[in-house]
Every structure is written in C-alpha cells, then in structure tokens.
C-alpha cells in the first residue's frame, strides 16, 4: 500500500503557530544573507580597483566579519544551517550561490 499524502516541498515556510517565529527568522536571515554576500562582492571589487584607503578596507572587512559572526549566532539560536537560507527559485535555481 502506498502513501497518497502529498508531500510539502522542503524549502517552503511552514506557517504553523509552533514554527512561525523560526520561519520568520529564516526569511529575514535569507534576505540579510543575500545582502551580505552582495556587499562582500562589492567590497572585493573596490579592494581590487584600489579605490579604498587602508583604513576603509579595515573597517569594511571588520564589519563584514562581525555581520557573518552575528548571522552564525542567529542561525545557531534558531537551529538553522547556512544551506537552510538558500531558497529554491525553481527554474531560476537557488537564490544564493552554492559554496
């Protein structure tokens, strides 16, 4: 006998009263991670072109490291892995680049 219960896709938000806080945090962290990665790429481009002073490079590097640390803390608090933040956009592929 086969189970005819439809399966829910894994990357969808559950929106159940018990998990709504975690799902909301997951969504917010996904957006923040996307922005963090974009900022990091832009910083690398600016480093490569030499348009930043040494002090600016230090400040940007420190800020990005602190943001990454804080993101890791929040993921850990809510039981999320980095790959949990990567939404599947169907035919467009994943939202975040895979490492």
**Cα distance between residue 37 and residue 47, in whole Å:** 15
Environment class of 26 (CB within 10 Å of its CB; exposed 0-12, middle 13-18, buried 19+): buried
Kindly state whether residue 65 falls inside one of the protein's structural domains: yes
Per residue in 67-85, pLDDT tens?
999 999 999 998 999 888 8
**Cα distance between residue 86 and residue 88, in whole Å:** 7
Provide the residue range defining the domain that includes 65: 20-78
In this prediction the pTM is 0.69
The total domain count for the chain is 1
Kindly state whether residue 90 falls inside one of the protein's structural domains: no
Per residue in 84-93, pLDDT tens?
888 777 787 7
Per residue in 4-61, pLDDT tens?
655 555 556 556 777 788 888 888 999 998 898 899 999 999 989 998 899 999 999 9
Contacts of 4 (CB under 8 A, 6+ apart): none
Kindly state whether residue 27 falls inside one of the protein's structural domains: yes
Kindly state whether residue 61 falls inside one of the protein's structural domains: yes
**Cα distance between residue 39 and residue 75, in whole Å:** 20
Kindly state whether residue 67 falls inside one of the protein's structural domains: yes
pLDDT of residue 59: 95
Kindly state whether residue 89 falls inside one of the protein's structural domains: no
pLDDT of residue 89: 75
Kindly state whether residue 2 falls inside one of the protein's structural domains: no
Kindly state whether residue 73 falls inside one of the protein's structural domains: yes
């Amino acid at each position: 006998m086969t189970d005819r219960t439809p399966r829910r896709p894994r990357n969808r938000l559950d929106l159940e009263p018990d998990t709504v806080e975690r799902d909301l945090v997951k969504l917010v962290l996904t957006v923040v991670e996307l922005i963090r990665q974009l900022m990091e790429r832009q910083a690398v481009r600016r480093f490569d072109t030499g348009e930043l002073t040494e002090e600016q490079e230090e400040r940007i590097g420190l800020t990005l490291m602190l943001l990454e640390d804080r993101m890791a803390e929040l993921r850990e608090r809510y039981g999320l892995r980095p790959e949990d933040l990567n939404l599947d956009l169907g035919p467009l592929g994943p939202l975040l680049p895979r490492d």
